[in-house]
């Protein structure tokens, strides 16, 4: 356990924040400068900046930075979640694609597999915070190009403050070919410290160890940067290596009175006039479900029986496209396609299909690490893995999974996290994967300079891939059917807020972090108005 400042003897703070990831760090940033005392409680430690940060073997095969926790699936089968407990949370390992959700994502949208319900807030409520978040997280992108305009549907959104990250040679060729064929690829908005015209100015070195790796040179905009900034505020204290075990309440169960934690030094109790939960959608739900008392036997903030339900994590497939010669791209994740977001413009399907973005370069160890749950390492020797790695372009196809009551986080009788999940809404996703495969196949035949072969591999992301977890603490007007209100305050309590992706009503089909950050900024404004 470490703390940036002496912990108060009586353990009392104006605000206690649980978790230092995208939501928690942003909340601390919103409260910085207010003069209020803030304690951030983080179960992980500070991530060392070391050689292993960029070592694919350490990261993907030895799982050096992943938790060794064991969770259970709906059949009681054990699995190791791909989750990271460190200061900065999962953002230290993310791919830095910072996308706004689209206007219609906040409205009710019929999908082939059911209805994607409306949020109680609109895109316009978040728009100013999206703009602020894009500044703070140094998002590089372009809204000038016509094909880029509709990646948010918001024609009033200001241009990004930072230019788009340049495409590597083969990525530029592929983008051009796709555009010529009628698709409208756009520059993927990325939170990196990089100016390709003056590369010496930023920290990002466009390496091949970005998404999935912690950035050794701190060139990604992750929550660690935000935490570093707020630590300068003398009223903000970060304590690490301190896991919150339970939230205890007043006798009537209406306010959180004590945040019960454990560290290597034993049990600790903290108090906050306001408590903000930002432990990630799964852990926040688990913490509430485990915080039972006679006033709330079913878990805290759970009068609606919705805590832990509606778990979503995106229906995702990796589509791998192989080339005959080496791909000339070290940092390929620089464009995306939204043409099929709402329907199939070629006709025949009037429902949303999803979003396509290029994935990071994968080297041999990354491939072996990704495959190791299925194929033993010796079956894919290093040399073969590297030959494959240098000849592939990887795409991530993301589609919306719909909130369902039965898809939920639970605690089993030993307190272990159980993730019960049934895939849904798959028809649009499979159609999109096939569209991409067919397009890549055609490009391979038609365009010599990008020699695509139509050998693709796709599979749905398994349950252990919790990267885009959300939905377990649903935001809504009705206390009977949601966990938090529009200000993200628990309906059942007067001083408990939640600002991680648990409050998402739907998963949309884009990466979640920018929305988590924008929403936490919005809730921060509300909390400040309470002081």
Binding region for ligand FAD (CB under 6 A): 18-24, 41-44, 85, 89-91, 93-98, 211-212, 243-244, 278-280, 283, 287, 467-468, 500-501, 511-513, 516
Judged by beta carbon, residue 224 or residue 431, the one nearer ligand FAD is: 224
Least Å distance, CB 44 to ligand FAD, is 4
Sign of CA dihedral 149, 152, 158, 164: negative
Specify whether the CB–CB gap between 483 and 304 falls below 8 A: yes
| Tokens found for residue 172 | 């530029």
Judged by beta carbon, residue 287 or residue 443, the one nearer ligand FAD is: 287
Specify whether the CB–CB gap between 316 and 465 falls below 8 A: yes
Distance CA 358, CA 167 (A): 11
Judged by beta carbon, residue 95 or residue 444, the one nearer ligand FAD is: 95
Specify whether the CB–CB gap between 401 and 314 falls below 8 A: yes
Judged by beta carbon, residue 136 or residue 173, the one nearer ligand FAD is: 136
Least Å distance, CB 19 to ligand FAD, is 3
Task: State the pairing for strand pair 266-277/496-498.
Answer: parallel
Least Å distance, CB 97 to ligand FAD, is 4
Least Å distance, CB 507 to ligand FAD, is 11
Judged by beta carbon, residue 212 or residue 303, the one nearer ligand FAD is: 212
**Closest chain position to ligand FAD (CB):** 21
Distance CA 472, CA 299 (A): 13
Q: Nearest 5°: CA angle at 397, between 395 and 402?
A: 165
Q: Is 256 helix (H, G, I), strand (E, B) or coil?
A: strand
Judged by beta carbon, residue 99 or residue 327, the one nearer ligand FAD is: 99
Least Å distance, CB 50 to ligand FAD, is 19
Least Å distance, CB 513 to ligand FAD, is 3
Least Å distance, CB 22 to ligand FAD, is 3
Distances (CA, A) of 304 to 250, 268, 348, 480, 506: 20, 30, 40, 5, 18
Judged by beta carbon, residue 105 or residue 443, the one nearer ligand FAD is: 105
Distance CA 213, CA 223 (A): 14
Specify whether the CB–CB gap between 373 and 381 falls below 8 A: no
Judged by beta carbon, residue 329 or residue 467, the one nearer ligand FAD is: 467
Distance CA 350, CA 417 (A): 38
Phi, psi of 52 (to 5 degrees): -60, -20
Judged by beta carbon, residue 22 or residue 397, the one nearer ligand FAD is: 22
| Tokens found for residue 168 | 């590597």
Over the Cα atoms of the chain, what is R_g?
22
Least Å distance, CB 258 to ligand FAD, is 14
Least Å distance, CB 36 to ligand FAD, is 20
Distance CA 382, CA 241 (A): 36
């Amino acid at each position: 356990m470490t703390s940036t400042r002496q912990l108060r003897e009586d353990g009392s703070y104006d605000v206690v924040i649980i978790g230092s990831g995208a939501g928690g760090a942003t909340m601390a940033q919103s409260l910085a400068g207010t003069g209020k005392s803030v304690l951030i409680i983080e179960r992980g430690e500070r991530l060392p900046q070391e050689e292993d940060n960029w070592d694919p073997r350490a990261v993907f095969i030895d799982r050096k930075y992943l938790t060794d926790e064991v969770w259970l699936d709906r059949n009681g089968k054990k699995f190791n979640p791909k989750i990271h407990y460190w200061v900065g949370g999962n953002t230290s390992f993310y791919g830095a694609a910072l996308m706004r959700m689209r206007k219609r994502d906040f409205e009710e949208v019929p999908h082939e597999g059911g209805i994607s319900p409306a949020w109680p807030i609109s895109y316009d409520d978040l728009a100013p915070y999206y703009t602020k978040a894009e500044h703070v997280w140094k998002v590089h992108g372009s809204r000038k190009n016509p094909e880029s305009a509709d990646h948010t549907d918001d024609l009033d959104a200001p241009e990004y403050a930072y230019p788009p990250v340049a495409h590597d040679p083969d990525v530029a060729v592929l983008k051009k070919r796709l555009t010529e064929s009628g698709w409208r690829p756009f520059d993927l908005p990325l939170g990196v410290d990089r100016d390709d015209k003056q590369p010496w100015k930023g920290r990002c070195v466009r390496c091949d160890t970005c998404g999935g790796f912690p950035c050794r040179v701190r060139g990604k905009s992750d929550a660690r940067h935000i935490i570093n900034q707020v630590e300068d505020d003398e009223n903000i204290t970060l304590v690490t290596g301190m896991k919150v075990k339970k939230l205890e309440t007043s006798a009537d169960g209406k306010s959180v009175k004590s945040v019960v934690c454990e560290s290597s030094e034993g049990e600790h109790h903290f108090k906050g006039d306001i408590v903000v939960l930002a432990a990630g959608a799964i852990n926040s739900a688990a913490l509430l479900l485990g915080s039972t008392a006679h006033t709330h036997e079913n878990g805290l903030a759970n009068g609606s029986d919705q805590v832990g339900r509606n778990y979503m994590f995106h229906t995702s497939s990796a589509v791998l496209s192989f080339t005959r010669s080496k791909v000339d791209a070290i940092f390929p994740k620089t464009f995306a396609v939204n043409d099929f977001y709402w329907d199939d413009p070629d006709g025949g399907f009037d429902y949303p299909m999803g979003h396509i973005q290029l994935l990071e370069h994968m080297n041999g160890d990354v491939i072996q690490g990704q495959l190791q749950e299925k194929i033993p390492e010796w079956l894919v020797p290093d040399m073969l893995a590297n030959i494959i790695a240098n000849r592939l372009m990887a795409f991530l196809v993301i589609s919306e999974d719909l909130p369902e009551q039965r898809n939920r986080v639970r605690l089993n009788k030993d307190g272990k996290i159980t993730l019960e999940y049934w895939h849904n809404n798959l028809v649009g996703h499979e159609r999109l994967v096939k569209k991409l495969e067919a397009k890549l196949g055609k490009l391979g035949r038609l365009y010599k300079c990008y020699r695509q072969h139509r050998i693709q591999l796709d599979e749905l992301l398994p349950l252990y891939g919790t990267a885009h977890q959300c939905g377990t603490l649903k935001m809504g007007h009705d206390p009977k059917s949601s966990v938090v209100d529009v200000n993200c305050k628990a309906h059942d309590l007067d001083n408990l807020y939640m600002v991680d992706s648990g409050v998402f009503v739907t998963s949309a089909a884009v990466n979640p972090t920018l929305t988590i950050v924008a929403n936490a900024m919005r809730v921060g404004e509300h909390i400040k108005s309470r002081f």
